[in-house]
């Protein structure tokens, strides 16, 4: 049964004030469910990254409501005391640049997040090995990020995003730095994860070739969020 994991109601973000005020997001309302892979489209400067960072509790909204896993997280102000803890425990992030820590090996990069959440070394290492094998890079445990290809690095970044067992993954242009074949492989992997792990995945993308892989398509236009009908 589908569960609501992201719900936003009238979410807005304004930068600046007075005559210099810019409304990046004027009105955003939508609901995203477990096991869904959702594309977030829009031209450059339309507010896609602002929206995804508000959902990820990185950027504070100006007004509206935000629910994560049915918990009211924002209404006029943050409704949780520690947004960093909320992010660590509930959300996985994947970026265009994989942001792997260069002086840690592959396994250490993945164990870092659960260890920060208080998980013991043995459990964190077992989780890392399981995820890396699942994602097809189980033979790279001792490699340094500089020894990986772009596609391998992105798979390690995906493993890291899953290390805290999140029910939400937010991905900002995760395939932009990859060639077409590797980009398709990463998107197919994300689709598989959403189905098998019942994770809600929201992907900011410009790559319309990938759209058939998504369950739903949301477009940010003029500060508003609209859903595309799928043919």
Share of the chain above pLDDT 90, in %: 47
Average per-residue pLDDT for the chain: 89
Instruction: Read off the pTM.
Output: 0.86
Q: With bands split at pLDDT 50, 70 and 90, how would you rate the model's confidence at 40?
A: very high
Task: For residue 180, give every residue at least 6 positions away whose Cβ sits within 8 Å of its Cβ, in sequence order, or none.
Answer: 209
Range of the domain at 189: 4-228
Residue 183 burial by Cβ neighbours in a 10 Å radius (0-12, 13-18, 19+): buried
More confident of the two residues 31 and 162: 31
pLDDT of residue 6: 96
Closest CA relative to residue 186, chosen from 216, 209, 219: 209
How many structural domains compose the chain? 1
Q: What is the pLDDT averaged over residues 30-51?
A: 91
pLDDT of residue 110: 93
Write the pLDDT tens digit of every residue in 212-227: 889 999 999 888 899 8
pLDDT of residue 105: 95
pLDDT of residue 2: 79
Write the pLDDT tens digit of every residue in 120-162: 889 999 989 988 998 888 999 999 999 998 888 888 988 898 8
Lowest-pLDDT choice from 105-109, 113-117, 226-230: 226-230
More confident of the two residues 230 and 8: 8
Write the pLDDT tens digit of every residue in 103-112: 999 999 999 8
Residue 231 has pLDDT above 70, yes or no: no
CATH number of the structural domain spanning residue 209? 3.40.50.300
Cα–Cα separations (whole angstroms), residue 95 to 35, 173, 205: 20, 6, 11
pLDDT of residue 230: 60
Kindly report the three-state secondary structure assignment for every residue of 145-190.
Answer: HHHCCHHHHHHHHHHHHHCCCCCEEEEECCCCCCCHHHHHHHHHHH
């Amino acid at each position: 049964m589908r569960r609501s994991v992201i719900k936003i109601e009238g979410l807005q973000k304004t930068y600046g004030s007075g005559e210099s005020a810019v409304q990046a997001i004027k009105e955003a309302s939508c609901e995203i469910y477990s096991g869904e892979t959702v594309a977030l489209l829009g031209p450059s400067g339309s507010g896609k990254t602002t929206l995804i960072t508000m959902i990820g509790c990185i950027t504070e909204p100006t007004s509206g409501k935000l629910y994560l896993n049915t918990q009211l997280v924002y209404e006029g102000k943050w409704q949780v005391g520690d947004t960093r803890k909320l992010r660590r425990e509930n959300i996985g992030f994947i970026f265009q640049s994989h942001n792997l820590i260069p002086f840690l090996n592959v396994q250490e990069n993945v164990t870092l997040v659960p260890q920060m959440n208080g998980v013991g070394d043995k459990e964190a290492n077992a989780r890392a090995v399981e995820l890396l094998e699942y994602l097809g890079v189980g033979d790279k445990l001792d490699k340094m990020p500089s020894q990986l290809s772009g596609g391998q690095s992105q798979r390690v970044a995906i493993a890291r995003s899953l290390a805290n067992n999140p029910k939400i993954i937010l991905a900002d242009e995760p395939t932009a730095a990859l060639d077409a074949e590797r980009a398709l492989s990463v998107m197919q992997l994300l689709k598989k994860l959403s189905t098998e792990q019942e994770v809600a995945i929201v992907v900011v993308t410009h790559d319309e070739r990938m759209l058939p892989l998504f369950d739903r398509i949301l477009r940010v236009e003029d500060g508003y969020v609209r859903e595309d009908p799928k043919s």
